[in-house]
Amino acid sequence: MKAAIVLPAFNESAVIYKILKSLPKRLEGISEVDVVVVNDGSQDSTLTEAARASVDVISHSLNRGVGAATKTGIYWAKKNKADVIVTFDADGQHDPRDIQKIIKPIIDKKADVVIGSRFKRRSEMPPDRFLLNLFANLATFILFGVFSTDSQSGLRAFSKKAASLIDTRLDRMDFSSEVLLEAKRHDLKVLEVPTSVIYTSYSRAKGQKNTNALPILARLLVKLLR
Amino acid sequence: MLTSIQIVLLIFILFALSRVMLRLREKILSTQVAFFWIIVWIAALVGILLPATTSKLAQFFGVGRGVDVIVYISLTLLFYLVFRIYVMIEDLRHEITEIVRHIALQKTIKSPRKNRSKKIKK
């Protein structure tokens, strides 16, 4: 079984090398681990830093958003015949040890999509982020009828079947909710696994801004009404 | 006798109609879209030159004054057009992303580790 870890990255030169080096080289139940960074039109040295870590790098010439970059990475993984595809944020908010945890249900054929939920350990999340995520989860539920304890998590695992069926159109953070909608549409088995969250001042500054919530909601509405 | 506001609006509508015809000739507008705008501007022309028609329209819709019915219709139309433009921009963004993705996937930088193992295999 082959796994691919996809890291969408935008201006992450300060941390990307360290994060790539911390990723597991071997995973239980997996014979080969591929790592790919999708440099999403970064203006800093993310591209060279990622290449220095001896991983595959795909580079968007323009910044298209985290959703678009993730989709590019998933596309690459499918082309490289990965059986399990993991998406992992490049800002250092996830614990690399959680990768094994989220791919296990896929290896065991218990799920098609696994979401690393940061919400199940609420104490690790700052209160404003908790509220923002709660709002995002609620919006995802109202608009799409899908409930997730962490609809915005970047740490996810997809089976080959899920990767081939899920087809997203949204390019930015709203992509996270769209994946859930697609999973529901194709009747895929979605599982949530509690994972750690490392909120450093760096990852907080890099992540979603609290004020982004309304434009995201507007785009999700347009997706429904168009 | 035309009032000054009627004259100003009349000139503006003739100008707008001329732009529609020019863009149609340049093939920037499709026939359907040009037809839509011609209808809009001719309706406005009728409303300005024959204000009594708007009062009849208002009566038909059960709205007090002719001007009110025009405002309501215009607002509805404007909101709808803004929505269509928003959708169009989203479509354009999506198309740009598809192009960027296509180019990016053609130029993947391979990990040196993998290249080495391939060379050994050979």
Do the domain assignments include residue B99?
Answer: yes
Q: Tell me the per-residue pLDDT of B3-57, one tens digit each, with 9 for 90 and over.
A: 999 999 999 999 999 999 999 999 999 999 999 999 999 999 999 999 888 888 8
Total domain count for chain B? 1
Report yes or no: A179 and A185 within 8 Å, Cβ to Cβ: no
Among A30-39, A183-192, A207-216, B17-26, where is mean pLDDT lowest? A207-216
Residues of chain B contacting residue A221, judged by C-beta atoms under 8 Å apart: none
Do the domain assignments include residue B95?
Answer: yes
With an 8 Å Cβ cutoff, the interface of chain B facing chain A consists of 83, 86-87, 90, 93-94, 96-97, 100-101, 103-105, 107-114
What separation, in Å, do the N-terminal and C-terminal C-alpha atoms of chain A show?
40
What's the CATH code of the domain at A40?
A: 3.90.550.10
Residues of the domain holding B13: 4-116
Report yes or no: A151 and A140 within 8 Å, Cβ to Cβ: yes
User: DSSP secondary-structure letter at A119?
Assistant: G
Q: How high is the pLDDT of residue B111?
A: 79
pLDDT confidence tier of residue A37, bands split at 50, 70 and 90 = very high
Do the domain assignments include residue B122?
Answer: no
Nearest to A148 by CA among A161, A156, A138, A158: A138
Residues of the domain holding A183: 2-225
How large a percentage of chain A has pLDDT more than 70? 88
pLDDT at B73 over 80: yes
A213 phi, psi to nearest 5 deg: -55, -45
Question: What ipTM was assigned to the predicted interfaces of this complex?
Answer: 0.82
Compare CB distances from B108 to A61, A65, A76 and report the shortest one's residue. A76
Task: Kindly report whether the global pTM for this prediction surpasses the value 0.95.
Answer: no
Do the domain assignments include residue B121?
Answer: no
Do the domain assignments include residue B44?
Answer: yes
Q: Tell me the per-residue pLDDT of A71-113, one tens digit each, with 9 for 90 and over.
A: 999 999 999 999 999 999 998 889 999 999 999 999 999 999 9
Q: Tell me the per-residue pLDDT of B84-97, one tens digit each, with 9 for 90 and over.
A: 999 999 899 999 99
Q: How high is the pLDDT of residue A92?
A: 87
Total domain count for chain A? 1
Quote the minimal CA–CA distance from B107 to chain A in Å: 7
To the nearest whole number, what is the mean pLDDT of chain A?
87
Q: Tell me the per-residue pLDDT of A154-191, one tens digit each, with 9 for 90 and over.
A: 999 999 999 999 998 888 888 888 899 899 999 999 99
